[in-house]
Amino acid sequence: MKTMVVTGYKPMELGIFKNDDPRIFYIKEALKKKLTDMLQEGLEWVLISGQMGVELWAAEVVIDLKEHYDVQLGFIPPFINQESRWPDEMKSRYEEMSMLADFYKPVYEKEYQGPYQFKAKDQFLVNHSEGALMLYDQDTPGSPDFFRKEALAAEEKTGYKILYITPLDLQETVEQLQMADPDYWSQ
């Protein structure tokens, strides 16, 4: 797989309301682990739409991975000024990641017009990738379910590959990192 979409939940869907929430670290570590595995298998491009949460965290991970891997970041929002109503800290992170991306182009070169823009974005991302990595819990579908439906349709038609980071994967990441920390054992 050469090109992969990374998506998942928005921070509020995960109960994350502050940028210093320790869960973000573990989510980013789980993303890093999966992406590193994919890079070693030939992944070249990671595509995101720039949603706050998993997508922007994935962008940060990809930027960090560029130090060791030849990976490109494609940033494809559904429309311009997607971040205009976001909190200032999220806006600045969005703007920074969009500037650091190797490719940036909104699906629609206009402001928000309607929900059809999100559907078109999902279709565009699926049509321009070979698979997706999703932070997803089947018991709590949330916003990633819209993309997942497009990806599942492509999986049936073309063999589109969908990889998941599940709550169990996150728990394993937490446990592995805790066990690797010498301070953990002295408690």
The proportion of the chain whose per-residue pLDDT surpasses 90, expressed as a percent, equals: 95
- Rounded mean pLDDT of 93-118? 98
pLDDT score at 172: 96
Segment among 4-13, 39-48, 173-182 with least mean pLDDT: 173-182
- Rounded mean pLDDT of 138-164? 97
The 10s digit of each residue's pLDDT in 38-96 is 999 999 999 999 999 999 999 999 999 999 999 999 999 999 999 999 999 999 999 99
At residue 187 the predicted structure's pLDDT band, cuts being 50, 70 and 90, is low
CATH of the domain at 124: 3.40.50.450
pLDDT score at 183: 81
Q: What is the C-alpha to C-alpha distance for residues 133 and 157, in angstroms, rounded to an integer?
A: 18
The proportion of the chain whose per-residue pLDDT surpasses 70, expressed as a percent, equals: 99
Contact between 2 and 45 under an 8 Å Cβ cutoff? The reply is yes
Average pLDDT, the chain: 96
pLDDT score at 186: 74
Residue 67, judged by CB atoms within 10 A of its CB (0-12, 13-18, 19+), counts as: exposed
Give the residue numbers spanning the domain of 173: 3-185
DSSP lists the bridge partners of residue 108 as 79
Report the candidate in 12, 10, 64 with the shortest Cα–Cα distance to residue 35. 64
b/e map of 120-129 (b: 16 or more CB within 10 Å)? Answer: ebbebbbeeb
Instruction: Indicate the number of domains in the chain.
Output: 1
